[in-house]
Amino acid sequence: MKYSNKILTVLISALLLFSSCKKEVKPIIITAENLHKSVDKVTEIMIHDIFSPPVASRIYAYPNIAAYEIIAQADDNYQSLAGRLNKLTPIPTPENKDINFQLAALIAHMEISKSLIFSEDRMESYRDSLYTVWENKNEKQFSSSKDYGLKVAAHVKSWMNTDNYKETRTMPKFTVDSDDPARWQPTPPSYMDGIEPHWSKIRPFTLDSASQFKPIPPKPFSLEKESGFYKELIEVYDVGNQISEEGDTSEGIAIARFWDCNPYVSVTRGHLMFATKKITPGAHWIGITKIASRKANYDFEQTLYAYTKTSIAIFDAFISCWDEKYRSNLIRPETLINQYIDENWKPILQTPPFPEYVSGHSVVSGAASTVLTSIFGDNFSFEDDTEMPYGIPVRKFESFNKAAEEAAMSRIYGGIHYRMAIEIGLVQGRDLGKFVVNKLNMVTKKEVASN
C-alpha cells in the first residue's frame, strides 16, 4: 500500500509538472537578422522576376515604411513619417496589449513585399514557414501581432496604390526620334525600348516634384572635334580601349564589373539569346545598408530605420534621375562611337536600355551615400561583399562617399556614360540626399551620440 501511494504521488507530481510546462509561453524574439533575411528574400525574388531599377526601388521602399511606422508607434526614439512623406496619413493605432511590435513590423514588411512582386508564392512559402514557428511558440502574441501588422499593411497599401504606378503601366511606349542625331537610340544586343519613360509621373516620397533637383543640361551635342561634347565622347572610347588592352588585370574593368548592377544582361550564343540576372543599383546600396548595420551592431529598430531612410532616398533619386533622362533624351556613347568612330567597338558593360543623361548609378549612389553617412558617420569603412553571389570579389571602402564616387566612375570604365553624366549626376544625388535627411529629420539615440 505504501508503494502504491508513493507511485500515485509521483504520477500526480509528474502530471502537474507536465501541465505547468505545457502552459509556459515564451515571447517571440525578433532580431535584426530576421529583418535582413526578409529583405534578402525580397532581393532574391526580384532577381528572379527581373524588375527594372526604378521599379525595384519601389519594392524596397514601401515595405520598409510600413514596418517603420509600426515601430514608431512603440518607440519614442522614432518619429512617424505621416505628414512627412507625401500623402501618408497616420496608421491605425494598436488596440491590443499583446502586440509584439517588432513581429508586427516584420509581418507588415513581408505582406507588402508579397504584393509588389510577381512570384508571390515564393514569398508566401518563406512567410508561412515563419508563421508556423511563431504560432507554435506563442499563439496569442502571434495572432495579435499578425492582426495589427496586416491592418497597417492594408493602410500603407491604400496609400501606395495612389502613387500613379498603376496608371503608368498603360501609358504609351517611348517614341524614338530617329531624325535627331543627339537623341537616344536603342542599343545592342537586344535593342530594347526605353524602360519606364513615365517614371517621373510617380509620386515621390519627399520631393515637391520630380524636377525639384533638375540638373543643368548636358553639353551641347556636337561631333566637331574641338567641342566639349566630342571630347567627352572620345574619352569614353579611349578609356574603354585602354582598359580592354590591360585585360582582366585592369582595375578599371574590376570597378566596372563590381558596380554593373544590370538586372537583365542579354547574352547571345548563335541563334540563342538568354539573360543573366543580377541586382539593381538600388539593391546594391540596400546591401551596403545591411553590411553597415551589422558592423555597427544595430538592433532591429535601428536596422529598420537605416533601411527605411536609405530606401526612401533611393526611390526619390530614381524619380529625379528618370525625369532628366527622358527630358534631355541624350544618345549613348556606344551608338555614336559605332556610327562615327569605330563600328567594332564595344563597351566593357552592356549599355542599359534608356537615355544617357544623367547617370542613374551616380544619382542613386550620391543620394544613398549621403543618407548612410548621416546615420553611420563620415568615415565609416566597410567591406562590400554584395556582389559575391555573382562571382565578383569583395571591395573595401573608407566611406560611403568614396564608394559612391567609385560607383559613378565605374560608368566611364564600363563605356556607357560620359563624364558629365556622372559628375553632375553625383552632385544631383548628393543634393537630393541632403534634402531627404533634412525633410525626414528622423533621429535615433545613436545618431545623437555620434553627432
Tens digit of pLDDT for each residue in 291-318?
Answer: 999 999 999 999 999 999 999 999 999 9
Q: Residue 6 pLDDT more than 70? A: no
Q: Residue 446 pLDDT more than 70? A: no
The average pLDDT across 239-256 equals: 94
Percent above pLDDT 90 for the chain: 85
Residue with cell 542613386: 364
Q: Residue 19 pLDDT more than 70? A: no
Domain boundaries, the chain: 27-161, 178-450
Q: How many residues does the chain have?
A: 451
CB 85 within 8 A of CB 312: yes
What is the second-level CATH architecture of the domain 178-450? Orthogonal Bundle (1.10)
What letter represents residue 195's amino acid?
I
| Closest residue by Cα to residue 134 from 150, 124, 146, 122 | 146
CB 181 within 8 A of CB 171: no
Tens digit of pLDDT for each residue in 352-393?
Answer: 999 999 999 999 999 999 999 999 999 999 999 999 999 999
Residues 6+ apart with CB under 8 A from 290: 36, 39, 40
Q: Residue 11 pLDDT more than 90? A: no
The answer to whether the predicted template modeling score (pTM) of the entire model surpasses 0.75 is yes
Tens digit of pLDDT for each residue in 69-106?
Answer: 999 999 999 999 999 999 999 999 998 889 999 999 99
pLDDT interval class at 178 (50, 70, 90): confident
